[in-house]
């Protein structure tokens, strides 16, 4: 089992880790303290003080507020909602649902037909960072990707309660 330094994890977060180290990080068993180290790295990459307890995506985190609430917060500091809610319902959304809009992404005749699919781009309301993209049938509800059981993760997987 490989052990990686905090500096190597910073390179991972910054996108500067070499491809061989990246392959090893992804394919080998994880060192026992990697989760805590990566939380420290992410915490250093944001300009706010709320404690990150779970990274959801490159620019989205579950944070613990002083009042004990667990919310989804972006790297820019935008607070979407509590963790059990669908953050996408609080994001800025650009809807691609015409052939002309699909032409911006795909060569003509290589995209789906707008009667069959639409593309939703979810953006951070603070800084416009693209957070996620969905390709769904028209009218389909916003997909709630992930509802983490944070207490079970901390208690049973990490072997320590969330404090």
pLDDT 10s digits, 17-49: 999 989 988 898 888 888 999 999 999 999 999
d(CA 57, CA 36): 16
- Residue 104 counted as domain residue: no
d(CA 126, CA 59): 12
Query: Where in the sequence is the domain holding 24, given as residue range(s)?
Result: 1-45
d(CA 64, CA 81): 12
Predicted pLDDT at 116 = 96
pLDDT along the chain (163 residues), means of 10: 85 91 89 90 95 96 96 98 97 96 90 94 98 96 93 92 82
Predicted pLDDT at 56 = 95
d(CA 18, CA 11): 8
- Residue 84 counted as domain residue: no
- Residue 4 counted as domain residue: yes
- Residue 25 counted as domain residue: yes
Rounded to two decimals, the pTM is: 0.89
Beta carbons within 10 angstroms of residue 80's beta carbon: 20
- Residue 33 counted as domain residue: yes
- Residue 146 counted as domain residue: no
User: In this structure, what is the dihedral angle of CA atoms 140, 145, 147, 153, given to the nearest 10 degrees?
Assistant: 160
d(CA 87, CA 84): 9
Please give the tally of structural domains in the chain: 1
- Residue 155 counted as domain residue: no
- Residue 9 counted as domain residue: yes
Predicted pLDDT at 1 = 67
């Amino acid at each position: 089992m490989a052990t990686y330094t905090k500096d190597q994890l910073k390179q991972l977060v910054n996108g500067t880790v070499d491809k061989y180290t990246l392959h090893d990080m992804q394919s080998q068993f994880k060192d026992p303290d990697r989760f805590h180290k990566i939380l420290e790295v992410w915490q250093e990459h944001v300009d706010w003080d709320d404690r990150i307890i779970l990274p959801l995506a490159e620019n989205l985190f579950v944070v613990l507020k002083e009042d004990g609430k667990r919310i989804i917060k972006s790297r820019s500091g935008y607070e979407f909602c509590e963790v059990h809610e669908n953050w996408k319902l609080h994001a800025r959304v650009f809807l691609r649902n015409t052939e002309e809009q699909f032409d911006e992404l795909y060569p003509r005749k290589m995209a789906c037909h707008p009667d069959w699919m639409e593309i939703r781009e979810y953006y951070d309301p603070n800084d416009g960072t693209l957070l996620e993209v969905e390709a769904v049938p028209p009218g389909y509800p916003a997909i709630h990707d992930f509802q983490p059981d944070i207490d079970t993760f901390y208690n049973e997987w990490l072997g320590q309660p969330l404090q």
